[in-house]
A and B are shown apart, each in its own frame.
Chain A
Amino acid sequence: MSDTHAESVAYVRDTMLPETPPPAAETGVTKWMKQNLFATIPNSVLTVAAIVVIYFLLAATLPWILNGIWNATSIRECREILEGATGGCFAVLSDRWNQLLFGFKYPSTEYWRPALAFLLLFVAAAPVMFFKYLPRQLLLFTGVYPFLAFWLIWGGSIVPPLLLLLGFVAAYVAFKALEKRGFGVAALGGLGVLIVAIILAGSIGKIEVLRLEQVQSRDMGGFMLNMILGTVCVSLSIPIGIALALGRQSDMPIIKWICVVFIEFIRGVPLITLLFVANVVLAYFLPPGTTFDLIIRVIIMITAFASAYIAEVIRGGLAALPRGQYEAGDSLGLDYAQAMRLIILPQALKISIPGIVNVAVGLFKDTTLVSVISMFDLVGMIRGPILASTDWNGVYWELFGFAALLFFVVCYGVSQYSQWLERELNTDHR
């Protein structure tokens, strides 16, 4: 024992300690439950309360869903089959799915067209949504998609949308050719070519090639109408929103105030008043005798609505950029259009993507408001033709549950995508 020096501080370990498992109570399910469910007494009370809530939710819905009737022709038949037991009458969905999805006027032989357009939407959106992982060439299809979808959904000859597409291509080529001479010249050149193309498309567009049965705008309905309004208005509102945001950031007071008044006005009123404008007021401001489809008037107003919100999101993105970026662009001799296009907007838009997606989701949900001005979107179809029919009068839960589910799937999916993208961009070379 004499070689033990209690007062000595020097110490050398000669054998390393092996790794040992923690005490038994601290592992596995027990530990997890103790930490996450029953850590303290109030916590345990909360857990029990949560279990009760979940029990009641399941007790109310599960038998209703599992016991559901999928095969019947009316609510009375459902009730006969159920004989008083709890169960949903999902037969209304199998009976009226076509009306819920496509409205009640779209010709049933042509359902494959909007369905195909819907599927192709994913193909078209993918290169934009996953721009890092997919080859840029796929963007070509994204460019073609609007014209293809228009032809598929509205039908008619393929010539007008094709000519319009060619017009856009020609305008792009003209823009690229003139770009080195300055943005203004190039934009004017591109616009000129586009106008010529539109006039051409109008004059020789009568040629009947690959004709599909034509469907009028007012015959669009169901969830398809929500999808059309959502995608069209969001796509149109992004460029307008960018222009408004740049205008609001401008140091030219008149341009700035025009944008401020527009944005704040739109943001200050509910969408429904704008839909009233589309429904009953807009016609007064158009040349006498013009008859616009209601759907086009609605698209105009919803686009205006969405652009104001998107402009504010993008303004936030612009404001987040340090002044140095503008100065660096200036000091290299870039002009305003070049600095914006090459330096400022790519960065500002990237910051704004989550905000833009939020606006898009909100807008998509708001497309249900068109049912208030008696358009037959998904909600309009349910409240109108379906619930009013003698067969299905009283089948509330199944129908609204179905509508809620459809919207949930789309909106939840998109917002999950947005969160994924946000994480992706955060780790992005920074």
Chain B
Amino acid sequence: MAETAQMQVSDEIAIRIENMNKWYGTFHVLRDIDLSVHRGERIVIAGPSGSGKSTLIRCINALEEHQKGRIEVDGTVLSSDIKNIDKIRSEVGMVFQHFNLFPHLTILENCTLAPIWVRKIPKRQAEETAMHFLEKVKIPEQADKYPGQLSGGQQQRVAIARSLCMKPRIMLFDEPTSALDPEMIKEVLDTMVSLAEEGMTMLCVTHEMGFARQVANRVIFMDQGQIVEQNEPEEFFNNPKSDRTKLFLSQILGH
């Protein structure tokens, strides 16, 4: 399957990050990040906690502000212009560790909120789209329930559907399975795999190395705010070059 995935990658650049730096106060979280993501590419970002991997993908949709360098998403350069930021955010979907569903809205309302208010799509049409994606993540029957009534895995799948309803061209995943019970991880990963198979451009921060082997075109290893190593999954896992990567892999695969 990895080979078929390879073939879908186009030459078009979806995200281009050049020489990006970020500080929290005096703490240098991201240092000279250079990264190009092609359309259709699936990238898994791994690394120890505090290595800046979440911050990196949160900079891409401007949830965090970077202080230096250049981020270009779908040909739009991220600047401090509010319209620019809103445009990029509506092109880029994001899935959070803690789902962040809106507890006061039903599943369906969660999914139609942004299409109606940001994309200005008529309500009826937005609901059809939402049902389409809810079917895709296999929980259309929960549409009228509230997030609190769903299991963690179901909530995370709703969160994925909610992002998809905006018809994003790029999806960011920020540790989507870290807050889940073990038996629920699989259902979320399955959803992500089927998304990958459709050729979605994906950036995933995750510790699921099985997922990385299965769908990633590229695995990026970050430590201390820098990209330490990146490679195709086979090479990355079987033949890591850097000592840090070896240490990290031995720790997470060691038992």
| Neighbouring A residues of B100 by C-beta, 8 Å | 322, 324-325, 327-328
| Interface-located stretch among A39-47, A136-144, A329-337, A393-401 | A329-337
B142 to chain A, nearest CB (A): 12
Q: Which of A180, A338, A347 contacts B104 (CB 8 A)?
A: A347
B118-150 interface bits toward A, Cβ cutoff 8 Å, 1 = contact, 0 = none: 101000000000000000000000000111110
Q: B63 touching A322 by the CB < 8 A rule? A: no
B46 to chain A, nearest CB (A): 22
Q: Does A343 contact B (CB under 8 A)?
A: yes
| Neighbouring B residues of A330 by C-beta, 8 Å | 61-63, 89
Interface of A is mostly: helix
- Kindly report which residue of chain A lies nearest to residue B64, judged by CB atoms: A327
What is the bound-complex CA distance between A322 and B147, given in angstroms? 15
- Kindly report which residue of chain A lies nearest to residue B90, judged by CB atoms: A333
| Neighbouring B residues of A325 by C-beta, 8 Å | 100, 102
Q: B113 touching A332 by the CB < 8 A rule? A: yes
**Candidate in A333, A343, A347, A350 with the most chain B CB atoms within 10 angstroms:** A333
- Kindly report which residue of chain B lies nearest to residue A323, judged by CB atoms: B100
| Neighbouring B residues of A331 by C-beta, 8 Å | 61, 63, 89, 92-94, 96, 163
**Candidate in B87, B89, B120, B145 with the most chain A CB atoms within 10 angstroms:** B89
What is the bound-complex CA distance between A343 and B103, given in angstroms? 9
Q: B98 touching A333 by the CB < 8 A rule? A: no
What is the bound-complex CA distance between A229 and B111, given in angstroms? 43
Q: A333 touching B103 by the CB < 8 A rule? A: no
B148-160 interface bits toward A, Cβ cutoff 8 Å, 1 = contact, 0 = none: 1100000000000
Q: Does B86 contact A (CB under 8 A)?
A: yes
What is the bound-complex CA distance between A333 and B163, given in angstroms? 11
What is the bound-complex CA distance between A405 and B82, given in angstroms? 57
Q: B149 touching A327 by the CB < 8 A rule? A: no
Q: B149 touching A429 by the CB < 8 A rule? A: yes
What is the bound-complex CA distance between A333 and B121, given in angstroms? 14
Q: Does B117 contact A (CB under 8 A)?
A: yes
What is the bound-complex CA distance between A430 and B155, given in angstroms? 13
Q: Does A346 contact B (CB under 8 A)?
A: yes
Q: A324 touching B89 by the CB < 8 A rule? A: no
Q: Does B166 contact A (CB under 8 A)?
A: yes
What is the bound-complex CA distance between A338 and B102, given in angstroms? 14
Q: Which of A324, A338, A346, A430 contacts B98 (CB 8 A)?
A: A324
Q: Does B33 contact A (CB under 8 A)?
A: no
Q: Which of B82, B92, B96 contacts A324 (CB 8 A)?
A: B96
A349 to chain B, nearest CB (A): 10
| Neighbouring A residues of B114 by C-beta, 8 Å | 332-334
| Neighbouring A residues of B101 by C-beta, 8 Å | 328
Q: Does A342 contact B (CB under 8 A)?
A: yes
Q: A328-B102, A429-B149 are in contact. Are A333 and B120 (CB under 8 A)?
A: no
Q: Which of A180, A322, A332, A347 contacts B166 (CB 8 A)?
A: A332
A304-346 interface bits toward B, Cβ cutoff 8 Å, 1 = contact, 0 = none: 0000000000000000001011011011111100100011001
Q: B148 touching A342 by the CB < 8 A rule? A: no
What is the bound-complex CA distance between A346 and B109, given in angstroms? 14
Q: Which of A328, A335, A347, A429 contacts B96 (CB 8 A)?
A: A328
A400 to chain B, nearest CB (A): 45
Q: A180 touching B103 by the CB < 8 A rule? A: no
Q: Which of A324, A327, A342, A350 contacts B117 (CB 8 A)?
A: A342
What is the bound-complex CA distance between A338 and B89, given in angstroms? 14
| Neighbouring B residues of A429 by C-beta, 8 Å | 103, 145-149
Q: B148 touching A333 by the CB < 8 A rule? A: no
What is the bound-complex CA distance between A327 and B63, given in angstroms? 7
B69 to chain A, nearest CB (A): 21
| Neighbouring B residues of A350 by C-beta, 8 Å | 104
B76-118 interface bits toward A, Cβ cutoff 8 Å, 1 = contact, 0 = none: 0000001000110110111010111111100000000110011
Give the 10 A-B residue pairs with the shortest CB-CB distance, closest first: A429-B146, A328-B100, A333-B90, A324-B100, A332-B114, A331-B94, A333-B89, A430-B148, A333-B118, A429-B148
**What is the interface of chain A, defined by CB distance below 8 A to chain B?**
180, 322, 324-325, 327-328, 330-335, 338, 342-343, 346-347, 350, 429-430
* Cross-chain pairs A/B with CB under 8 angstroms, 11 sampled: A324-B96, A328-B96, A331-B61, A331-B92, A331-B163, A332-B89, A333-B87, A333-B114, A333-B118, A334-B118, A430-B148
**What is the interface of chain B, defined by CB distance below 8 A to chain A?**
61-63, 82, 86-87, 89-90, 92-94, 96, 98-104, 113-114, 117-118, 120, 145-149, 162-163, 166
Apart from A322-B98, A338-B118, what are 5 other A-B pairs with CB-CB below 8 Å? Answer: A322-B100, A328-B94, A331-B63, A331-B89, A429-B148
